[in-house]
Structure 1
Amino acid sequence: MDTASRPHEQACTQSSRDKTQEKRLGSERSHGADGQDVLGKTSLVLKMKKLFFAFLALSAFSIGQPYADEAAPKFNDFPATDLFNGKPSKVRIISSRDRKFATRLHALSGQRPNFAGHYTLASWGCGASCIQTVAIDAKTGKVAWLPFTVCCWDSDISEPIEFKRDSSLIIVHGSRNEAGAGVYYYRLDRAGFTLVKAVEKVAS
């Protein structure tokens, strides 16, 4: 072989080795980047699983509580400032429901106010473990019916309807019109009984 051609062959051989090494390094870098992507995705999946199980644990704790009664309305949140001490007005019998229970309403209207400053509130039975409730304005004789019957309250509840003279809030325990179950907060205003908050009972 011509000695003059040896440097050229050596140069070609070295160039071929360099290209092979570059390909190998490039492949290693590519695999390294893919490995980092896989690790990153695996870490994200693990974090999502931890959040999911934490959410399940929190949900289970919440379901285990019989009532979710955080920030429940209180009587002093709805004060009645107009306390009436005069002679109660004669009840005004207007609606068909008023006429149906006229005798009870007439007897109730002569009593002193016990609710929302100037109302007389009373309940009476409408079946087994069932009551209906009405309030009469001692100043005007106007009748305000609680727009549902109440039944099926828990055995440890002595008063399914809680109320005070110096507050317009009432607290209802049990089922409304035999549907649902829980604790319901209503206030009495000029429009009648208005729902403030409903806390449904969660099955354990």
Structure 2
Amino acid sequence: MRRILAGMLAIIALSSHADEYRFEDYPATESSSRVVEQLRLPESESGSVFEMFLQRAVGSSPNFAGKYVLTYWGCGTSCQQVAAIDVDSGDVFYPGEGAASNGVCYQLDSALLIVNPIDKEGAEQIPDWFHTYFYEMTDQGFRLLGKTREGLSFDCGAP
């Protein structure tokens, strides 16, 4: 009986992390040693505050998904604007609405972006509207993988 109970508990423990996204599960498919030389912004953003902040990334090497520069800047209390710039084309991509409330986690060798990371202990105290979002970087931009109100079971090492 104890073995059956132990086995059931192990299955439950493993399945509780089945929907969790990990950097190693989304390896970068390309890499580049180039730097951002120019920005290709939609006409509506030309001359905007966004352009001013994005220009700061010109000359930067990839730090995300092999060939992107992930950059972010403050946009008010508990607000960061997030963008990824393709170093080869200068195209700019935004995850979801482009804003975060609790920072981001990312890696050079992974296409996974975690927006609003929070650990399991802190998850009990978050407001109802708060979610951690998981995106995969593709050549067409960010693809939403999922979201959760539960905290992460690992330290994602927010830069």
TM-score (normalised: structure 1): 0.55
Instruction: Output the amino acid matched with 2:110.
Output: S
* Contact 1:134/1:145, CA 8 A, preserved across alignment: yes
Q: CA deviation at 1:146?
A: 2.2
Counterpart of 1:54 in structure 2 is: none
- Looking at structure 1, the residues matched to 62 and 30 of structure 2 have their Cα atoms a distance apart, in angstroms, of 11
1:93 pairs with one of 41, 60, 71: 41
1:135 pairs with one of 84, 87, 90: 84
Distance 1:184 1:140, change over 3 A: same
Instruction: Output the amino acid matched with 1:73.
Output: Y
* Contact 1:186/1:197, CA 8 A, preserved across alignment: yes
Unaligned residue ranges in structure 2 (runs of 5+) = 1-15, 118-126, 152-159
Instruction: Give secondary structure in 1 for the equivalent of 2:57.
Output: helix
Counterpart of 1:110 in structure 2 is: 59
Distance 1:87 1:120, change over 3 A: closer
- Looking at structure 1, the residues matched to 129 and 37 of structure 2 have their Cα atoms a distance apart, in angstroms, of 37
* Contact 1:109/1:120, CA 8 A, preserved across alignment: no
Structure 1 stretches of at least 4 aligned residues deviating more than 6 Å after TM superposition: none
Distance 1:198 1:117, change over 3 A: same
Identity of aligned residues (%): 31
Instruction: Give secondary structure in 1 for the equivalent of 2:71.
Output: strand
Unaligned residue ranges in structure 1 (runs of 5+) = 1-67, 154-159
Counterpart of 1:168 in structure 2 is: 111
Instruction: Output the amino acid matched with 1:117.
Output: G
- Looking at structure 2, the residues matched to 119 and 95 of structure 1 have their Cα atoms a distance apart, in angstroms, of 21
- Looking at structure 1, the residues matched to 129 and 17 of structure 2 have their Cα atoms a distance apart, in angstroms, of 16
Distance 1:179 1:142, change over 3 A: farther
2:28 pairs with one of 56, 73, 80: 80
Distance 1:70 1:116, change over 3 A: same
* Contact 1:88/1:138, CA 8 A, preserved across alignment: yes
Higher helix fraction: Structure 1 or Structure 2? Answer: 1
* Contact 1:109/1:141, CA 8 A, preserved across alignment: no
- Looking at structure 1, the residues matched to 60 and 134 of structure 2 have their Cα atoms a distance apart, in angstroms, of 25
Instruction: Output the amino acid matched with 1:104.
Output: F
- Looking at structure 2, the residues matched to 141 and 104 of structure 1 have their Cα atoms a distance apart, in angstroms, of 14
* Contact 2:35/2:60, CA 8 A, preserved across alignment: no
Instruction: Give secondary structure in 2 for the equivalent of 1:180.
Output: coil
Instruction: Output the amino acid matched with 1:150.
Output: A
Cα displacement string for residues 129-171 of structure 1 (whole angstroms, at most 9, x for unaligned residues): 11110010001111101232222x4xxxxxx200000111011
Distance 1:75 1:86, change over 3 A: same
> RMSD of the TM alignment (CA)?
2.6
- Looking at structure 2, the residues matched to 139 and 201 of structure 1 have their Cα atoms a distance apart, in angstroms, of 36
Instruction: Output the amino acid matched with 1:172.
Output: V
Instruction: Output the amino acid matched with 1:75.
Output: F
Counterpart of 2:100 in structure 1 is: 150
Q: CA deviation at 1:106?
A: 2.0
